[in-house]
Chains A and B, each alone.
Chain A
Amino acid sequence: MTNNKLNCVLCLLAGLLYIMVPHYLLPVCEFASAGSSQPHGDSGPEMAAHDGAGGMSPAHAVCFYTARAELGLGLLIVMGAILLAFPGSAGYRAGILALEAGAAVIGALFPTVLIGVCQSQRMPCRAGTLPALIILSSLFFAFSAIASARSRKG
């Protein structure tokens, strides 16, 4: 497999992971609770909204929007991977890979700074999705930055 094909496949895989992680692999709270009927012991008394230890109760939790943003970002990264499959100059490939590196940074910023996740350590989004996205972004950034630099050298 040539370097360009490898770069293309790895970018495609990373894009798919950005889509899959917050929705299916280590889903954020809303998708996690939709997929399981988690037992809560004896049911608590029925009460009005705004109860609990963690903040407001919007229509969707903040982690839901992070998952949606990562979905869009994942699609962009997949598009970049498709563009890498087309023949092009070294500069063209290096440029796309540099954009992929930038996307990796944004992929880590969505759950940490730009949008965020739920505050409690016990929530699936903070316990699973957040570290997974940070690790994925770190690895993808390292890969795409190095690949971009190597592509520029030809």
Chain B
Amino acid sequence: MAGLALANIRARGARNLGLAALVAIFSALLFGGSVIDARLSQGLESLSARLGADVLIVPYGYERTAKAALLRGEPSTYHMPAEVLGRVRSFPGVAQASPQFFLASLATACCSERVQIIAYDQQSDFLVRPWISAKAPPTLGEGQIVAGSKLNVEVGGELFFFGVVHEVVAKMEPTGMGLDTSVFLPLESVYRLVGNIPALKEELPDPSGYISAVAVKVEPGLRPKDVANGIMREHAIEFNLDLVLPDAIVTETARELAGWASTVRRLALAMWLVAFLALALVFSVAIGERRREFGIYRLIGATRSWLGRLILAEALFLSLAGGLAGILLASLAIFPFDALIFNSLGLPNLPAGPGAVARAAAVALALAMVIAPLACLRTVLSVTRSEVQPSLRMEA
């Protein structure tokens, strides 16, 4: 029967190609959307696990810049007086405060990439160190750096910034965030680097008097927002400060992700319905065309249930072909171009793993496989109830 069903599908090639294409669009949409969703969900988990600070104090007007650097690794340079650190540390409710200095490297040609240089204080740091490989030396020396996981350099390799060659002594674990394309070095090293940058040298004659941000951990039991508001009330005007609440970034990103997933689900549902209705219509029209053919099958001994099973087999093959084609096409569009897609989405993301991909494929294929068999049920019932002779007479 399978051979006959396939031959029947081939005999009406153009029409069946169109029907399979509808199923393919549905499965491509569902599979592609699910894979992207799984990858973004992994990124969100990493984001909430790795934003170790409760509050980030930055210069006024740099809140968005700091978020862009954190989420997408968009390089930026900004600074504020280092005096802010002392004021924040002594503020009631602050358990830990660690300074950071952000410096953007330059891309001087197409193949030289701008990266965010993040300098951290090795004594007070509680953000960077936990995510550096255990193989890294406990403290970084002069000229030693830690590279983000996506930077194209291996441990033991060298990176050249601002006239100084730096040795990569460790790589960060993948975070799915902008940290993956940043490099990390001690504060003292970046202060020496600033001396090599004519524009900054003029602006910051004593670089050690400046920092870019203060990462704050509040004491247990206190609300970060309350402590942050207190710091702002006391020092925002004097030092021209702004703040970033990492929890708010997680909530905002989760909201964006939920909106995205909901749109994908709605589109997939709409496509499922369109495919179902189109197939149901085509099957019900086709029954009229094929009455003579079914009559002949009956004359040569086919039972009515056999006819029903033949139509079901044809529908199943159509769905299978469409479902597999959709998954294949979505795979071709997503996996080779994942860097392009996720760079443009600008949301934290981490590879979803083969299990999640296999699950997405199984769900998309299963839902695609039921479209045509369900759509042809009415036709199957009609055929199994009809008689051969009337069918033949009608055609005659």
Contacts and interface: CB of A to CB of B under 8 A. Distances in A.
Interface in B174-228: 181, 183, 197-200
A132 B340 CA distance: 11
A33 interface: yes
Interface string A30-73: 10010000011111111111111111111011111000000000
B75 interface: yes
A42 B78 CA distance: 8
Given A41-B104, A44-B106, A121 B152 contact: yes
The 7 A-B pairs at the shortest CB distance, nearest first, are namely A61-B110, A44-B104, A57-B109, A131-B336, A52-B112, A127-B339, A41-B76
Contacts of B69: 41
Contacts of B337: 127-128, 131-132
Nearest to B150: A121
B367 interface: no
B341 to A, nearest CB: 9
27 contacts: A41-B74, A41-B75, A41-B104, A44-B75, A45-B200, A49-B108, A51-B108, A51-B161, A51-B162, A52-B105, A52-B113, A52-B114, A52-B160, A54-B111, A54-B112, A55-B112, A57-B111, A62-B111, A63-B110, A122-B113, A122-B181, A124-B340, A127-B337, A127-B339, A132-B336, A134-B336, A135-B336
Query: DSSP majority for the B interface?
Result: loop
Interface residues of B, number: 44
B122 interface: no
B159 interface: yes
Contacts of B115: 52-53
A61 B111 CA distance: 6
Contacts of A132: 336-337
Interface residues of A, number: 45
Interface of B: 62, 65, 68-69, 74-78, 103-115, 147, 150-153, 159-163, 181, 183, 197-200, 332, 336-337, 339-340, 343
A46 B110 contact: no
Nearest to A47: B106
A124 B339 CA distance: 9
Given A51-B161, A127-B337, 12 more contacts: A40-B75, A44-B114, A45-B106, A47-B105, A47-B163, A51-B106, A52-B161, A53-B152, A53-B153, A56-B112, A121-B339, A128-B337
Nearest to B61: A42
Contact of B197 (A45, A49, A128): A45
A55 B151 CA distance: 12
Given A121-B150, A122-B181, A127-B343, A44 B105 contact: yes
B171 to A, nearest CB: 12
Given A40-B75, A41-B76, A48-B163, A122 B339 contact: yes
B106 A118 contact: no
A92 to B, nearest CB: 30
A123 B181 CA distance: 12
Looking at B106, B147, B181, B200, the one whose CB has the most chain A CB atoms below 10 A away is B106
A63 B78 CA distance: 32
Contacts of A12: none
B50 to A, nearest CB: 20
B152 A119 contact: yes
B240 to A, nearest CB: 15
A123 B199 contact: no
Contacts of B108: 47-52, 57
A54 B197 CA distance: 20
Contacts of B62: 42
Contacts of B340: 26, 124, 127-128, 131
